[in-house]
């Protein structure tokens, strides 16, 4: 039987900008709960959370970590997350299974850009939230400014529950306006002494206490009536109102901390177990079919895989949340996505890189299991006879693309295996083998994300790789009409080859009139897999070419459109009319007319004012107001056309059209010029003509490369 029932399991996720102290707070919580006997530190590389070699090298979290603490009859599952936007997938996955978020604010820095970015995800999930102002012991800590910024960014739902008597070196006392008590800490932190609020602070504390009660009562009609009737609410009534308001995302209590000195973490944990909702108090999960799945240990077993990691010599470790029922080791569940039955041979509680085998987990709890061969992140597993499928985590689209190849020839298969493993562990990393560009591409979130992928390939798979700029998928088209003909004739003993084709090509646009001066006998429209169309007309009269040869002519045209005449790029949006030709009763065949069609099309293309098109991306750069000018200036050096400036939350949003070739290195550049205070989104928009100078350069480069290859 499980040690904790569903109502005594609390799932929290630690959130915040990089350097806000999430891992240090997790360490405090484990220490306070007696899970560890010595509190580790980031500088000494000995925390339970940041155990990975790469994290210790870089000095910051890269992966989310599952931890847990037993605290006053409750089990608190703690997910520590990274703070950089490059690793937002880790944050989103953790938010998907958490029931409360703890957002840390650095008292020296106020609300940072990472906080704003993460807040967008919490709003999407409607996660109950706590704010914790950390690092109040630092010399430049400013509690009042941090609270003002929090209210400015996140609204007046941010409600002070605690404030410091002093900040900086003198930070030893926290005044709690919920309990109307002062907590005084020794220099070493830990358990505080409870003291009356000093007379000098009573007026301020009572004002904040009143604001807290009014905020709680304002979200509950019954509590509002009791407040009007009595002029006060007791602690239990306040806690009940806080829980309800948090569940509905109507109130965000704010606490004080120094995780470095272990001051305030115990009180925060007490609030988590006393007030924060457990999974069965949150709204029921909805399946993809709209069915409500109640968080009940006696219900049908159902789990959701939110994260997968690969451990050397062990295999894949799948992290999951139990959304319904009781999961026992040895149980078989059906994967709704694949239809395969999976045996949960072992269940584990996880503490960083340590695992403890257990026999069962109840609804609401989080754990891990090993070696699910046909199960991946975002899969739902359930007992047979049910068709539960929980909504998948929506991971952010990539912002950066590079080409990758092994430094040594012959290791392509080894690289393929390594990239497959990376995709399994990290759904925000996409791998594409481009037949068009003849490159293997990695689509990722940014430079740091890419650096982590490279480290894993080199260290876990013992494979040296190099990154290159991805080639640009240009397109070719034409701007005017042109006619051409080509005769293919070959005689080498026996049957020869003969085919002659006359054709006209024109730029194709939707709704254009039928060909002028030609007798249209048939038309085929081909939607090209690379975008655009080829419209092919049969305008032959008098039987000059037998209709059985038209597919061969089309095949020749299509072959050249696969390998455009200018740069070898795909051609698009062209209308081809075959209107005359000649054939031989013996020597004409499909290959003859294919060659004739290809060469006639190639010649006509060069006469039709050919144009190279480049991919244009829609870019939205979000940044604070004071650096908008710098961001716009950088975009304009990239041939960007700025289409407007809007606002999004507390950001200025610069909307621009940018050629794909100019987006190379943009992630690094934006981080550099804004000190990490901005982010961007990009998506393919359209193809647009390149400049004359760029077209000439691209043609010359292709010609040179072709000559070298022929050699």
Structure tokens, 219: 């979200």
Q: Where in the chain is the domain with CATH 3.30.70.240?
A: 612-693
Q: Where in the chain is the domain with CATH 3.40.50.300?
A: 8-281
Q: With beta carbons less than 8 A apart as the criterion, state whether 612 and 476 touch.
A: yes
Up-side HSE of residue 220: CA atoms within 13 Å toward CB? 23
Separation of CA 168 from chain center:
37
Residue indicated by tokens 């220099």: 187
Q: Where in the chain is the domain with CATH 3.30.70.870?
A: 400-468
**Coil, helix or strand for 641?**
strand
Residue-wise over 594-612: b if at least 16 C-beta within 10 A, else e? bbbbbbbbbbbbeebebbb
Least Cα distance to 681 among 632, 606, 621, 604 occurs for 621
Q: With beta carbons less than 8 A apart as the criterion, state whether 277 and 84 touch.
A: no
Helix axes 113-125, 143-154, angle to 10 degrees: 40
Paired strand residues for 525: 535
Paired strand residues for 444: 400
Element (H, E) at 76: strand 74-80
Structure tokens, 360: 């069962």
The overall pTM is greater than 0.85: yes
Structure tokens, 699: 């043609």
Cα 413 from Cα 405, distance rounded (Å): 11
Element (H, E) at 602: helix 590-607
Question: Under 8 Å CB-to-CB from 249, ≥6 apart: which residues?
Answer: 123, 126, 127, 128, 129, 157
Up-side HSE of residue 63: CA atoms within 13 Å toward CB? 24
Least Cα distance to 422 among 434, 404, 436 occurs for 404
Express each pLDDT in 208-224 by its tens digit: 999 999 998 888 888 88
* R_g (Cα) of the chain, nearest Å: 32
Look at residue 674 in the predicted model and tell me its pLDDT: 87
For the domain covering 8-281, report its CATH number: 3.40.50.300
- Kindly list the averaged pLDDT for each block of 10 residues, start to end, along the chain of length 711: 88 95 94 89 81 83 93 94 92 97 96 86 94 97 96 94 96 96 93 96 95 88 80 85 93 96 95 95 94 96 95 84 97 94 94 91 96 93 93 92 94 94 93 94 93 94 94 97 96 83 97 93 95 96 93 97 95 98 92 97 97 97 91 95 90 94 91 85 94 95 81 56
Can you say whether the dihedral through the CA atoms of 371, 375, 378, 382 is positive or negative?
negative
Cα 197 from Cα 214, distance rounded (Å): 21
Up-side HSE of residue 368: CA atoms within 13 Å toward CB? 27
Look at residue 54 in the predicted model and tell me its pLDDT: 84
Cα 658 from Cα 639, distance rounded (Å): 6
Cα 163 from Cα 175, distance rounded (Å): 5
Separation of CA 550 from chain center:
48
Express each pLDDT in 524-540 by its tens digit: 999 999 999 999 999 99
Beta-strand pair 100-106/129-134: parallel
Structure tokens, 392: 């998948």
Residue indicated by tokens 């400036």: 645
Query: What CATH fold (topology level) applies to the domain 612-693?
Result: Alpha-Beta Plaits (3.30.70)
For the domain covering 285-382, report its CATH number: 2.40.30.10
Separation of CA 554 from chain center:
43
Structure tokens, 528: 């090209």
Query: What CATH fold (topology level) applies to the domain 400-468?
Result: Alpha-Beta Plaits (3.30.70)
Length of the chain: 711
Please give the full DSSP string across 272-340, using - where no structure is assigned. Answer: HHHTSPPGGGSPPEEPTTS-EE---TTS--EEEEEEEEEETTTEEEEEEEEEESEEETTEEEEETTT--
Please give the full DSSP string across 450-491, using - where no structure is assigned. Answer: HHHHHHHHHHHS---EEEEPPPP--EEEESS-EEEEEEEEE-
Paired strand residues for 534: 526, 574
Cα 417 from Cα 457, distance rounded (Å): 10
Helix-then-strand count for the chain, H and E: 16, 38
* DSSP at 415: H
**Coil, helix or strand for 664?**
coil
Torsion, Cα 567 571 577 582, to 10 degrees, reads: 40
**Coil, helix or strand for 589?**
coil
Separation of CA 553 from chain center:
46
Residue indicated by tokens 């050629």: 659
Cα 564 from Cα 562, distance rounded (Å): 6
- Between the alpha carbon of residue 376 and those of residues 94, 336, 342, 372, 608, the distances in Å are 16, 11, 12, 8, 51
Structure tokens, 303: 């789990």
Q: Where in the chain is the domain with CATH 3.30.230.10?
A: 476-608
Please give the full DSSP string across 156-215, using - where no structure is assigned. Answer: TTEEESEEES--GGG--EEEETTTTEEEE--TT-SSPEEEPPPHHHHHHHHHHHHHHHHH
Cα 190 from Cα 259, distance rounded (Å): 10
CA angle 685, 686, 692 (to 5 degrees): 130
CA angle 380, 381, 387 (to 5 degrees): 80
- Between the alpha carbon of residue 239 and those of residues 70, 217, 315, the distances in Å are 21, 11, 44
Look at residue 710 in the predicted model and tell me its pLDDT: 63
Q: With beta carbons less than 8 A apart as the criterion, state whether 63 and 366 touch.
A: no
As a whole number of Å, the end-to-end CA separation of the chain is 75
Question: Under 8 Å CB-to-CB from 708, ≥6 apart: which residues?
Answer: none
Q: With beta carbons less than 8 A apart as the criterion, state whether 333 and 339 touch.
A: no
Cα 496 from Cα 401, distance rounded (Å): 50
Class of the domain covering 476-608: alpha beta
Phi, psi of 677 (to 5 degrees): -95, 10
Residue indicated by tokens 């041979």: 345
């Amino acid at each position: 039987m499980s040690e904790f029932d569903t109502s005594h399991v609390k799932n929290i996720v630690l959130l915040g900008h990089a350097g806000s102290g999430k891992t240090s707070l997790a360490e405090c919580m484990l220490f306070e709960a007696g899970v560890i006997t010595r509190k580790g530190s980031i500088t000494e590389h000995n925390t339970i959370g940041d155990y990975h070699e790469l994290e210790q090298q870089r000095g910051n979290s890269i992966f989310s970590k599952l931890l847990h603490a037993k605290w006053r009859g409750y089990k608190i599952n703690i997910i520590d997350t990274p703070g950089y936007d490059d690793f937002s997938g880790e944050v989103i996955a953790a938010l998907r299974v958490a029931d409360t978020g703890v957002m840390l604010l650095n008292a020296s820095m106020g609300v940072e850009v990472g906080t704003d970015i993460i807040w967008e995800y919490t709003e999407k999930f409607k996660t109950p939230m706590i704010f914790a102002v950390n690092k109040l012991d630092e010399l430049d800590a400013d509690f009042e400014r941090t609270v003002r910024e929090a209210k400015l960014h996140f609204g007046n739902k941010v409600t002070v529950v605690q404030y410091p008597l002093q900040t900086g070196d003198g930070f030893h006392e926290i005044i709690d306006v919920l309990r109307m008590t002062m907590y005084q800490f020794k220099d070493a932190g830990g358990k505080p002494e409870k003291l009356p609020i000093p007379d000098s602070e009573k007026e301020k504390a009572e004002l904040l206490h009143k604001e807290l009660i009014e905020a709680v009562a304002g979200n509950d009609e019954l509590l509002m009536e009791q407040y009007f009737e009595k002029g006060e609410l007791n602690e239990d009534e306040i806690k009940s109102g806080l829980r309800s308001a948090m569940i509905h995302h109507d109130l965000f209590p704010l606490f004080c901390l120094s995780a470095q000195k272990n001051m305030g973490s115990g009180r925060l944990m007490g609030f988590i177990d006393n007030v924060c909702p457990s999974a069965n108090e949150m709204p029921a999960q909805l399946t993809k079919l709209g069915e409500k799945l109640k968080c009940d240990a006696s219900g049908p077993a159902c789990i959701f895989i939110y994260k997968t990691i690969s451990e050397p010599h062990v295999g894949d470790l799948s992290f999951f949340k139990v959304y319904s029922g009781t999961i026992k080791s040895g149980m078989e569940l059906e994967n709704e996505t694949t239809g395969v039955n999976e045996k949960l041979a072992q269940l584990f509680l996880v503490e960083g890189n340590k695992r403890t085998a257990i026999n069962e987990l109840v609804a609401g709890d989080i754990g891990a299991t090993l070696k699910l061969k046909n199960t991946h992140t975002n899969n739902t597993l359930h007992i047979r006879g049910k068709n539960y499928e929980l909504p998948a985590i929506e991971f952010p689209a990539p912002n950066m693309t590079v080409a990758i190849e092994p430094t040594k020839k012959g290791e392509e298969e080894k690289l393929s295996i390594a990239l497959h493993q990376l995709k399994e562990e990290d759904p925000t990393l996409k791998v594409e083998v481009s037949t068009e560009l003849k490159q293997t591409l990695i689509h990722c979130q940014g430079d740091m994300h890419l650096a982590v992928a490279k480290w894993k390939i080199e260290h876990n798979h013992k494979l040296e790789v190099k990154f290159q700029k991805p080639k640009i998928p240009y397109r070719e088209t034409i701007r005017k009409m042109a006619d051409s003909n080509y005769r293919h004739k070959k005689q080498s003993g026996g049957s020869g080859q003969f085919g002659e084709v006359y054709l006209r090509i024109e730029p194709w646009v939707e709704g254009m009139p039928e060909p002028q001066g030609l007798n249209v006998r048939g038309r085929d429209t081909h939607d090209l897999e690379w975008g655009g169309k080829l419209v092919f007309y049969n305008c032959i009269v008098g039987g000059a070419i037998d209709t059985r040869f038209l597919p061969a002519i089309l095949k020749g045209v299509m072959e050249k459109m696969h390998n455009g005449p200018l740069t070898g790029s795909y051609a698009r949006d062209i209308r081809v009319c075959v209107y005359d030709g000649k054939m031989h009763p013996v020597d004409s065949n499909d290959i003859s007319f294919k060659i004739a069609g290809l060469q006639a099309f190639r010649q006509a293309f060069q006469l039709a004012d050919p144009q190279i098109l480049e991919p244009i991306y829609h870019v939205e750069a979000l940044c604070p107001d004071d650096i908008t000018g710098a961001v716009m200036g950088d975009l304009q050096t990239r041939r960007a056309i700025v289409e407007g400036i809007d606002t999004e939350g507390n950001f200025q949003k610069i909307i621009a059209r940018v050629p794909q070739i100019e987006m190379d290195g943009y992630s690094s550049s934006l981080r550099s010029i804004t000190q990490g205070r901005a982010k961007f989104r990009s998506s393919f928009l359209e193809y647009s003509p390149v400049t004359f100078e760029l077209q000439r350069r691209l043609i010359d480069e292709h010609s040179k490369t072709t000559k070298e290859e022929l050699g």
